[in-house]
Amino acid sequence: MSWVLLKKELRVQRPFVLLLALLIGFGVVDGLVLAYPDELTAWAILGDLDEAGSEAASMVTFFVAFAMGSGLLWREREERTLEFLDGLPVSRGQIFASKLVAAMVVLAVMPLGDGLMAVARAASSTHSLRPTIPWGLIASGMALRLAMIWVVLCLAVALSFLGRFAWIGLSTCFFSFNLLLRFEPAATLFDPLQLTAPKFRYGRWDWPTSALAWQLSLSLALVVLSAFLFARAGDRLWRHSHNPASPRASFWLATASVLIGIAAMAYVGFGDSKRPTVSYAEVPTQVGETLHYQMKYPSTLGGRAERVLAGAEGVHRQVMSTLAFTDSTTITVNAGRSRGGTAGTAMGNTIIVDLSTSTRTETLLAVLGHETVHVYAERLAKGRNRGNTFAGLFNEGLATWVEFERFRGPIHRAQSRLFSAAMWDRRDVVLSDLLGVGDIGVKVDHGVIYPLGELFIDALIRRHGRSAPGKILAALGRDDAPTDLEPMEAWREAFHHAGFDLDGVAAEFTRDLEGRRRNERKALQSLPRLFTEVSERDGTYLVAVVPSEPQDYWVQCRFRATSDTPPSEYTTVDLLNADTCTIRWTRLPGRSFWYQVGIVDLRTRQALWDPWVEVNVD
């Protein structure tokens, strides 16, 4: 490496350094001047090095590093200054090394700035619970961010030989990588953002050693390849990419590579010939109609469908009379598979009822009734009855309340309310979880809105009568309803407009739950509490549950990779004739995973889940 070249490279990158200095300057003004640094909370100390800002900051770092790396060599070629450099008494290897080192030095300004900011924040906000600067955490965060920059820089330099198609190359890598993750989750080891995702154990930053080893090895290979191409064959590649006379050839090259990528993924995804394949004949679809429903169903479920159709008008009448609605629009019912393991779903004017979930006509009619309520609720509110957790609580509560009131036996309602009281008693759910905009599923279970919502609607009806839900929905959907309100404020306004008080209903609801907590103490204490132990053996995670076979219930475990994994991607395991749930680590390839256990009532199939638990793994 030549010092003169290095100095020249650093000089060239001065505008970039200024830009980074500007970014850091904004951080200083925002965090240390406009705010009181001694009032900062622990979450703010590590700033961009940590969870609060890591994802956004990592993305910015990624793109800045890639932008710099992809232009590092290419720009010399593009501006024809490479020919001048070739005329100097320095080798291509020296030029390459100087550029790489200069880029790394410039990019290191970002983590160094973040680190210095973290030290300043920590030093100015100490107190008796946090008396010292967390040097180890800050140093780890900086080191891992530097590692990420290095990996991205190496990737960018390697892709820069595609010339102006470097960014297309990056996007191809991105999409291919995401597709690959679906089939081989362990590939996450090659995700550069994994390097900076913070994990803490034993009060220290838990380094992603495997990912670091793999990615540093890969970056080394990329550097060697890039150095070779720069010294030997790179000019030819650039010529293809740069020649304005042959843009079509370059375009075809890029398009062909994209098509090859898609074809390869299609093969991996759909064409795994090693797996046995089974195909069944298409089942013809039949249609049945009543006054208010048009049902499409596979002919293999014709018997159930006909029985449901026979009772459908009765369901419609009961829903209408219970809620004092009047509407005669025909509802389309598809006998398909419902979302997230539920027996039914409503969307717009269409209902999906999964006829395969039960042979009992009463059960299927209850599902139809539940979903019919959703259809009319949405129609009354003109689609404005959505948007936050409370909307879910209200909608599912209303549908469940009608379902229990009209279509289910008392045992279902009793069990549901017992589980609600248990959640309340254990403080797994608090009122602010339900009235806020947060995601209750992250903490416990999305399904809590059914039993708790049923109690909320019960409180509303006790306080204001059966027509109250309809009035509130109509208030939401009225033409002159304000449209610029936050979701919760819109609900509050609708309650107010209908002549009710949301807080009063919430108070009634909490009083009811408190009463149940007091009065049903014995029943609550008789609910089985589950104790768990997690271990790992031969690449399998094992969750041992005690008791594994409680009386009147069965036990289920659920797993998810991260706190924001959607429920449709949870893995659910029934604990039947066993005391341990197992899952392969490849299904949960991160450095931590989440699990929860719950009991399911044998008679009503209602579930009571414990909160999710995160497990850090090596």
The footprint of other proteins on residues 155-214 (CB under 8 A) is 200-204, 206
The size of the chain, in residues, is 618
> Which listed range, 301-309, 316-324, 496-504, 556-564, lies at the site for other proteins (CB under 8 A)?
496-504
- Asked if 596 contacts 611 with a C-beta cutoff of 8 angstroms, the reply is yes
Nearest approach in angstroms of CB 333 to other proteins is: 11
| Minimum CB distance to other proteins smaller for 129 or for 326 | 129
- Kindly identify the residues of this chain, within the stretch 252-311, that bind other proteins according to CB under 8 A: 252, 255, 258-259, 262, 266, 270, 296
Q: Could you tell me the smallest distance in angstroms from the CB atom of residue 217 to other proteins?
A: 27
DSSP-derived 3-state class of residue 130: strand
Q: Which is nearer to other proteins, 37 or 302 (CB)?
A: 37
Structure letter (DSSP) for residue 230: I
User: Which range touches other proteins (CB under 8 A), out of 94-102, 334-342, 411-419, 461-469?
Assistant: 334-342
Q: Per-residue string for binding with other proteins, 362-381, x by CB under 8 A?
A: -----------------x--
Residue 92 CA, chain-centre distance (Å), reads 46
Does 42 bind other proteins (CB under 8 A)? Our answer is: yes
Give me the long-range contacts of 347-356 (CB less than 8 A, separation at least 24): 348/375, 348/378, 349/375, 349/379, 351/375, 353/308, 355/297, 355/301, 355/304, 355/305, 355/308, 356/301
Based on the shown chain and the rule CB under 8 A, indicate whether residue 46 belongs to the binding site for other proteins. Answer: yes
Minimum separation from the CB atom of position 182 to other proteins (A): 11
What burial class does residue 87 get, using C-beta atoms within 10 Å of its C-beta: 0-12 exposed, 13-18 middle, 19+ buried? exposed
For position 425 contacting other proteins by CB under 8 A, the verdict is yes
The C-alpha atoms of residue 160 and residue 99 are separated, in whole angstroms, by 13
Residue 445 CB, shortest distance to other proteins, in Å, is 16
Select the residue interacting with other proteins from 81, 299, 586, 616 (CB under 8 A).
616
Stretch that binds other proteins, among 3-11, 314-322, 331-339, 391-399 (CB under 8 A): 331-339
Would you say 127 or 275 has its CB closer to other proteins? 127
Both tokens assigned to 613: 């638990």
Three-state DSSP class for residue 580: strand
Query: Would you say 404 or 541 has its CB closer to other proteins?
Result: 541
Residues 585-614 contacting other proteins, CB under 8 A: 592, 610-611, 613-614
Among 7, 130, 182, 317, binds other proteins (CB under 8 A): 130
Question: Could you tell me the two tokens for 324?
Answer: 């004092």
Residue 359 found at the interface with other proteins (CB under 8 A): no
Say whether residue 41 binds other proteins (CB under 8 A): yes
Q: Applying CB under 8 A, which part among 83-91, 153-161, 243-251, 360-368 lies near other proteins? A: 243-251
Q: What DSSP state is assigned to residue 403?
A: I
Helix (H) or strand (E) holding 60: helix 51-72
Q: Determine if 31 is a binding residue for other proteins (CB under 8 A).
A: no
Choosing from 533, 552, 569, 574, the residue that interacts with other proteins (CB under 8 A) is: 533
Strands (DSSP E) along 125-207, which ranges?
A: 200-201, 204-205
The residue written with tokens 């990592």 in the block is 58
Under the binding rule (CB under 8 A), the answer on residue 11 touching other proteins is no
Compare residues 310 and 347 and give the one whose CB is closer to other proteins. Answer: 347
Site string for other proteins, 513-532 (x = CB under 8 A): ----------------xxxx
* Beta strands 350-353 and 293-298, pairing class: unpaired
CB of 458 to other proteins, least distance (A): 15
The reply to whether 535 sits near other proteins by the rule CB under 8 A is yes
553-560 and 571-575 strand pairing: antiparallel
**Rounded-to-integer distance, Cα 162 and Cα 254, Å:** 9
SS3 annotation, 316-377: HHHHHHHHCCCCCCCEEEECCCCHHHCCEEEECCEEEECHHHCCCHHHHHHHHHHHHHHHHH
**Is residue 460 within 8 Å of 468, Cβ to Cβ?**
yes
Q: Does 383 bind other proteins (CB under 8 A)?
A: yes
Read out DSSP for 459-478?
HHHHHH-TTHHHHHHHHHHS
Least Å distance, CB 426 to other proteins, is 7
Q: What angle do CA 393, 394, 398 make, to 5 degrees?
A: 115
Q: Which is nearer to other proteins, 414 or 478 (CB)?
A: 478
315 in contact with other proteins (CB under 8 A): no
Residue 38 found at the interface with other proteins (CB under 8 A):
yes
Separation CA 82–CA 37 (nearest Å): 48
Choose between 536 and 574: whose C-beta lies nearer to other proteins.
536
Least CB distance to other proteins at residue 411 (A): 26
Largest CA distance in the chain: 93
Site for other proteins in 56-85 (CB under 8 A): 71, 75, 78
Nearer to other proteins, 316 or 379 (CB): 379
Choice between 159 and 222, CB closer to other proteins: 159
Q: What residues contact 554, with CB distance under 8 A and at least 6 apart?
A: 574, 575, 576, 599, 600, 602
Size of the site for other proteins (CB under 8 A): 93
- Shortest reach from residue 92's CB to other proteins, in Å: 21
Measured from the CB atom, the residue of 350 and 414 that comes closer to other proteins is 350
What is the C-alpha to C-alpha distance for residues 26 and 346, in angstroms, rounded to an integer?
48
